[in-house]
Structures are given as C-alpha cells and as structure tokens.
Chain A
C-alpha cells in the first residue's frame, strides 16, 4: 500500500508534464491545425452528421420536428423493406450489374495497358491514350445520349447497319435482354482508358534488365508476360481490386438512371435507383434511408472482408 500511495503523485506529476508537453507540441503546430480546420469541419458536417442521420431508418421522419425529435418506430421500415415484393429483385439486379462490371470491366483496362505497353511507336501510343482517356471526362449524360443516338431504332447507326444487311431494327434500350450489354459496354467505353493509367505506371516501373535477362535465357513473349510482367503489376491489381469490391453493391446510379426505360425496369432497378425514387421523388425519407443503410452496411462488410483476404493471400491491403 505504501509504495502505491507514493507512486500516485509521481504518476500524476508525470501525466501533468506529459499533458503540458502535448499541449506545447500542439501549440507549435497550431497553424497546421488551422489549415486542417475547414477539412475537419467539412467531414464532420457532411460526412459524420449524415451517419447519425441513419437513425432515421428507425424513426418516422417529420419535417417539423427534424431527425432528432421524430418519433421512434423500431423496425417498421426495415420490415417494410424486407417484405417489399421486389426486395430480392433489387438485390439481384444490384449484384448482377456490379458483378458483371467487375468481371468484365475490371480486367479490361489491364489488357489495354498490356497492349499499349507493347507499342513501340510513341506517337501512335500517345494518340490512342489521349483519345481513350477522353470519355472519362465527359458526363454520363453525354455518354448516355451518344449511346442512345447510336442504338436508336430510328436512324441509329447500328440499326442502319442492320437494315442495310436486310434485318429488322431493334429497340436496344427498350429490351431487358440488351440492357446489361449496353450498361457494361458503355461503362467500359467511358472508363477503360483512364483506368489503364495506373497499370501503365506500374508497367513502366519494371526494370527492362529483367526482360533482357529472360530473353537471353530464351523466354518468349508469353513466358515473360507470365513470369515478369504479371507479378510486377499484381500489387496494383490487388489494391484496385479491393477498392472495386467495396463497390460491389454500387451499380452506378447515374448511369442506370440515364439508361433506364420503363420496359427495362425489372432488370435495371437497383438499390441506389430505388432509394432515389422512393426518397427524393416520393418523399418516403425513412424508408429510403433503410435502403441506403442496407447498402452502406453491405459495402462496409465487403471492403473489410476483401481487405482481410487480400492481406492474407498477397500481403496487399488498404490499411
């Protein structure tokens, strides 16, 4: 006991000194904290306050009382969402669209980067790069218009070609079976070039000595690809794959809203578009919050799990 009582004041003194030291350090950096103040305020207000707003999923939202004072209703809206007769359809569409984007859209820029990497004529390479980056910078509104113009049954280029070959025109955007093809191809068209930049960067950092040495050993193009190129870009592929996995339930609502037509709704309605519709267009705020919350939670689980797996398998991780 005696030793304890003797220790406490000493501890306190140390703590006080430590606190003083910390304060001193913080004071020394006060200008830098001032630089960060707008960002901290921003993330607090526009990032964290809406997180508190998810309590709305368990409340009956009333504009006059605000989120805080709106009455609790428990799982009423969660139940309503799970009981919604198209609940499974929404989940299925969300997964199918984002899964297709992942398995087709994810490798596409890697392949483009590998192809560009083989080009020895610099001017040609630069022109192709400049052109393929362009669609990334125009809005989905423009891309959707261009696509519907080309796919239109009336004077659309594709149907002109079909008719020239003596076939009937097709209303591509109006049929469910064409919808996914249009969504995936427009996604690739818009993003392939820009997404290839990171892989090109990874490719350019490979030591050319490795290729020379392997050529001397008699390795062909294919072998060099498998044993040198692919392993070298694997960490980059890993990180980007984790990032895409976290978006597995985010099918890209801008794009879908713009391409959606009444006849394709059964295959195109996803969690995000549904949440925009019931929330922003019909004003069912609490119900739409449930939809959004469901999506956020699944995304969070996906990113944490993928990150863990990636860490174990390949030693790459986001944090």
Chain B
C-alpha cells in the first residue's frame, strides 16, 4: 500500500515515538538508579548527586548483605518455596487443565464452575487465616505452598492450550495402549512447553515476591521469606531493629556501609533474578496471556 504521509501523520509519529521512549525511560531508570546506589560506597552516597554512574564503586554492600544469617535464612525459605512450590503448582495445574480440556468428560462444566465460584466469592481473610491456624500451617513452611497450589486463571490457560492439540494424537496413543497419565506426560506436556514456561513464570514470580503471608500469618522468624524481611527492613525507620542489633552495627562499622546502601543492595538482590529470567520467557507469556484472553 503506497500512502504519502501527511504533515499531521508525521507530527503524530514524532509525538508517538517520543512518548513511548519517555515511558521506557521512566520504567527503566528507577531500577538503574537503585543499581548505582547499591554499587556505591554508602558514606559517599550520603553526599548525594549520584544519578548515572557510581562514584566510589564497591561490592561491600552486597557482601555485607549476604553475611547476615537472618537474611541468608530468609533466602533459603524463599528459594525452597519458589522451587518446590512452583513445581507442584505447575504440575497440578497442568494435570487439572488436561482433565478439563477433555470435552467428553462428564461433569466438566460443574467442576469448572466449582473452581470459578471461589474467584468471585471468598470467605475473606480472617476465616482463611483461622483455617490455616487450625490446620497447623501457620508454623510450617508448607503455609507458603499448600494454600496457594492453584490459580483459576492458570488452569484455564492450560485447559485452553491443551484443547488446541489435535485429538487424533491422543486417540492413536490410546490405540497403542497408552494410559491417560502416559499420554499426559509423554505427549501433552512436551507439546505445551511454551505454556508450561508461562505458568512457571507466573507461579514462580508469585512465590518469589510474596511478603504478605510471611508478614501476617507467620510469627516464627526462621520461617520468614526474603521479601518479608525486605519489607520489614524498608519500613523500619531504624534498620537495626529489623535484624540483630549488635551484629548489624558491627558489620556496618567494619564494612563502611550504611543501612541505606545495604537496603539498596538487598533490593537489587531480590529484583535481579526476575530481571534476568523474564525477558527469556517473554514471548511465551505474551502468547499465554493471549490464549487466556480467549473465552474458552
């Protein structure tokens, strides 16, 4: 199509590109800014004026952040729940999605509605919390995993994706003597890797970022995940109160770092894994969200 751009269109183009670039900058710069602060000497940073490059480059803040046993333990909790939780979530969600993708399954609609209804009406926070308490989950690491195994939206994404796989594949496998589990594991899962990657990202990020459960449902310090500790450190005006007072002071004096610089390092440590992983999964989750948006 040959079309001569009018002046109006040219102006529109310039404005469009400028605004989008500006949006990109506004989104990107804050992360970059935190990175600079975390890589700069803490006392030097107090002088201000750090905007585009570290002035006194150092890894001290990161080293000190990792020396605190409480923080290390918190990362242990986070890694455990992220790995185990995500694996279970993805596997079980895919299983449920596979079963619901079978249009011939009796009661399919009723079961879907049974799941769906919990997304539009809930008992609320307190009955949920009392349930967790009476199941003794509030003093167990499984509190991060068991009550959050499924998300309705993800089941639907999985179901919709499985429905795009031709039925003939399953039929011929059945004739060859494959059972449902084998068909699911050997045919459907390998064929749905993009979608598996998508919901792995969604569940994984959810586990990695969650601070609420650790902050309000759990009281044992050793069970608190990194995001909860981070939130505590950040909200406390006095940093030392959040971790062990004496040891922190000792560390800070020895390491020439400030609470503020440590905060920035901690913020970066918790953000970096996501920043590194998600661009690789981007094309998959874009597709996943598209599929999820199709009413199935």
Contacts and interface: CB of A to CB of B under 8 A. Distances in A.
Interface in B131-146: 131, 134, 146
A292 interface: yes
Nearest to A235: B295
Interface stretch (B62-70, B208-216, B244-252): B208-216
Interface in A247-264: 254, 258
Interface string A43-58: 1011111111110100
Given A145-B267, A155-B48, A288 B99 contact: no
A53 B230 contact: no
Interface in B278-296: 278-279, 282, 286, 289-290, 293, 295
Interface string B147-158: 101100001000
Given A43-B115, A128-B24, A56 B96 contact: no
Contacts of B34: 146, 149
A270 B24 CA distance: 32
Interface residues of A, number: 91
A194 B286 CA distance: 9
Interface of A: 22, 25-26, 29, 31-33, 35-36, 38-40, 42-43, 45-54, 56, 61, 66-67, 112, 115-116, 118-119, 124, 127-135, 137-142, 144-146, 149-150, 155, 157, 160, 189, 192-194, 197-198, 201-202, 212, 215, 221, 236, 239, 246, 254, 258, 272, 275-276, 279-281, 285, 288-289, 291-293, 295-296, 299-300, 303, 319
27 contacts: A32-B180, A35-B96, A38-B149, A43-B115, A43-B118, A47-B115, A47-B117, A50-B124, A54-B123, A67-B127, A112-B23, A116-B20, A118-B13, A134-B278, A139-B208, A141-B230, A142-B270, A146-B34, A189-B26, A189-B27, A198-B289, A202-B293, A246-B120, A289-B127, A292-B126, A300-B120, A303-B120
Interface of B: 1, 3, 8-9, 12-13, 16-17, 19-21, 23-24, 26-28, 30-31, 33-34, 48, 51, 92, 95-96, 98-100, 102, 104-106, 111, 114-118, 120-131, 134, 146-147, 149-150, 155, 179-181, 184, 201, 205, 208-212, 216-217, 227, 230-231, 234-235, 263, 267, 270-271, 274-275, 278-279, 282, 286, 289-290, 293, 295
